[in-house]
A and B are shown apart, each in its own frame.
Chain A
């Protein structure tokens, strides 16, 4: 399904998200290609939801950068600051020549901090400016040519479009679907209001346009027009999750972050929602970051899968490859824990236990995130890397 050569839509570089001393996400890097589904799995508290929320900028990230469609949308400065204070410490005892080097180094890092801050704060504004310029350029020749009544009409249309462009945010192209369909819908808003809210905030004032979009999206997710005036409590769990999907899709996003969208649903309803998301993905060409802990669903839905453990990304590979050939001991342990609907198999299934202290010896050689073979990354040290490659040859 995935296209090897598809352009990259999202790139996460050395993302760190610390809450006080808790390293919720610690130095992870991955990219998502256009049109693919990227699964993120791991036990609760391993940082997969935090990763999703950092990407959509619900948190200010501590360190690292996030690029969306080639532009930096979020950046943190901790790594630069650490580098600077390291250099300052060294400077105290350094030779003159070395001192000059360090000074230049500090200056470069300070520039980077400034740049990161600028990008982080202005990503949306830059995008809006770009759109405004586009609108201006489009209307300029038209306005020059027109006159009289035509000019007044055009002027009005121009101002409206410019207003919409001004309110555009770059990050609305990333949307999120939440886990709990009950908690994530406002009980005092009708379905119509819930779905239209994002459009209104974006500056859409034309009721006809909003109506058209909302009704189209409702039909897309398998609800009907009549549902628009109802309240969330009048729907079943599966239908509520459909509303959540509709709310995300109406913004015409390029990337959807689906945070455990089916975990809270019944089995028979789960399949409906998964099928719906699959259909939308193909018909709208969506890219999805799929966060879940049900491995069978992730395997079914994703093209590539990243496995997280305590804030680290420990393995990343194509989903078939990952399930066929898991390398990191944690991934092996995770896969061995999946219960399958097969009593005879379950009787003999042996779970592999994972204890980092037993599985790894990192006292000498520190681990990094390395590519073992094309497309298959593992968090390991050189010794383990050599071992994985040797095993592959055998």
Chain B
């Protein structure tokens, strides 16, 4: 599990008539691959703004004041709109709160689902090809360099590998399609039998047609082979005499046929699965010939052949190549570290002006030190030069304009004061100037360099001694994925098939019919499912859910949450889940970040935040919600959140906080660590602070929850 997304010291403000509204103030968090991070907080706490920042869809009056968002070797805050097109919807997708307003009312659902697929398909194919070619070329180069004695062999194996993968992916695709069709057919049969049993068969003709189509789709050498051809004949004959049966209200003949078909389908599903990769290799090496015999026997033979002829050796070669690349880059990193340390010294002694001339040299060294063959892009190095360039630009801007802005502000302020003194109402407010903090810029540049140098030092000590096996496997998986992208051409037909599959996956009954309908023909829950399906259409890495169930009722909410959890497991998605419903959070989250007034006030795993909450705001949230046992008066949080145009001095929550101490009104509390994963920003955790206990309601509730958990674990 690695950090797929990392947000550091993010600060976002909005320019409004009233002044600069500080929506997000110094927020840092990360998202691990395959986990759900829930962001909890009330409206205006900055949770949605943070997520919109990740997607690059902030409103026009937003100012990104600082920080970084690292994803796949890019800093999302600094990349161009053009580059964002490749990420948005493709790698990072979002589910919005209101399903009605996020669907186009005059476009059929089907079109909305396939639109993105068709648009993205071509771009994706091109980028997959580029990725595959680039990485294989590099791999080949390193292989040759690491082992120059066996250059010919390496070349041959690389070629074999490419050919085999293409063959394998084609085969895999048709096999998966047929398997899916068979399991679809099984569902359909069960459905039909159920309704016949209940005497409530509604549209037998359509359903039989669908079943027939599914069985035909399952025609594949390994699923329905020539031997099982009778199943297809059986499926074709299902509709025979249907009219008579309908008139007589007696479906016995149909039922018998269905039972036969069910048996046949069950046999197919229990059939052993062929091992497609080794098989692809065998057939490639043997002029498309394949072994005859049972699947089990063949599997063993294929694997043996593949392992002895190719796999073992190839993996060894990849490992060697990676090792070579590592060794080579240790020296380059060492150079970069020296350059960085030098840069730090320069900026400390001579300030930014002295640093400017040496910057270009540092970029060059850092860029050279990046290992291009690594699959997971080490963000700090990839974004280094961009970030520094950004800071320098900011510095120049400050040099040029700071004074002007301050002067303009003073003029306006004087005018304003003058009018007030004359007893007139000016009718406008003075907007504070956006002044670049020069010291902060300098400190930020320095920090970037120190961070990267430290990181490289650690890597240089660690990496050369690592076992390269895992990395090699990872690299090969990456190559397979991209090869699949090349073979996968998105046609209108394929897009429709995928859309219907997605609709089924998100639990929409009769997708073929629904495909042609308009959004208004769907109920609220169904609409939200469509929105989820659209978000998933492009197989994103990260899914951002912005209160996806707030507008829905409990049963539908439960279905949608189950669906998101299921998809997360199946596709290894990383999810950011925004909500204010703590019940939903408990259901979904692996980790939780509680936000208040633009800051993260508590962060930890779900169990830590719910069972050992440490921040008074978390306590207040927990105690203000009634649960099923609540009888006493609710402990409402008094007052309203502060106006973030004038953020309060000290802790923003102090005004509404029963536990506030004097220091809370003076100084902002830092994050105190409670455990490696759990931290909270409250002075109550300071060693000198008086001991404060959560409200009685919360203590009681936690006690009950723990008791219940104990009972369950004994059962």
Contact = CB atoms under 8 A, between A and B. Distances in A.
A299 B708 CA distance: 20
A268 interface: yes
Interface string B177-212: 000000000000000000000111000000000000
Contact of B42 (A239, A268, A344): A268
Q: How big is chain A's contact interface, by range? A: 35 or more
Contacts of A340: 583, 586, 627-628
B284 to A, nearest CB: 46
A337 B555 contact: yes
Interface string B631-643: 1011111101000
Interface stretch (B21-29, B118-126, B485-493, B617-625): B617-625
Interface centre among A271, A278, A349, A357 (most CB of B within 10 A): A271
A343 B634 contact: no
A106 B636 CA distance: 59
A346 interface: yes
B552 A44 contact: yes
A341 B585 contact: yes
A236 interface: yes
Contacts of B582: 267, 341
Contact of A268 (B553, B581, B607, B620): B620
B554 interface: yes
B554 A45 contact: no
Contacts of A345: 586, 705, 708-709, 712
B170 interface: no
B610 interface: yes
Contact of A266 (B580, B587, B620, B708): B580
A299 B626 contact: yes
Contact of B625 (A44, A296, A323): A296
A275 B634 contact: yes
B557 A337 contact: yes
A297 B624 CA distance: 11
B584 interface: yes
A334 interface: yes
A155 to B, nearest CB: 50
Contact of B712 (A44, A275, A344): A344
B626 A337 contact: no
Nearest to B562: A351
Given A339-B583, A345-B708, A268 B637 contact: yes
A39 interface: no
A385 interface: no
Given A275-B636, A351-B558, A341 B610 contact: yes
A275 B625 CA distance: 11
A342 B708 contact: yes
Interface centre among B552, B584, B626 (most CB of A within 10 A): B626
Given A275-B634, A341-B625, A348-B712, 15 more contacts: A269-B42, A271-B626, A271-B634, A274-B626, A275-B636, A296-B583, A339-B586, A341-B622, A342-B610, A342-B709, A344-B607, A344-B709, A345-B705, A345-B708, A357-B198
Smallest CB-CB A-B distances: 9 pairs: A339-B583, A300-B626, A271-B636, A271-B624, A337-B558, A341-B582, A293-B553, A268-B637, A266-B42
Interface of B: 42-43, 198-200, 523-524, 552-558, 561-562, 580-587, 589, 606-607, 610-611, 620-622, 624-628, 630-631, 633-638, 640, 705, 708-709, 712
24 contacts: A45-B524, A236-B640, A237-B43, A267-B42, A268-B624, A271-B635, A271-B637, A272-B638, A293-B553, A299-B626, A300-B626, A301-B626, A338-B583, A340-B627, A341-B582, A341-B586, A342-B610, A342-B708, A343-B586, A343-B587, A344-B705, A344-B708, A345-B586, A354-B555
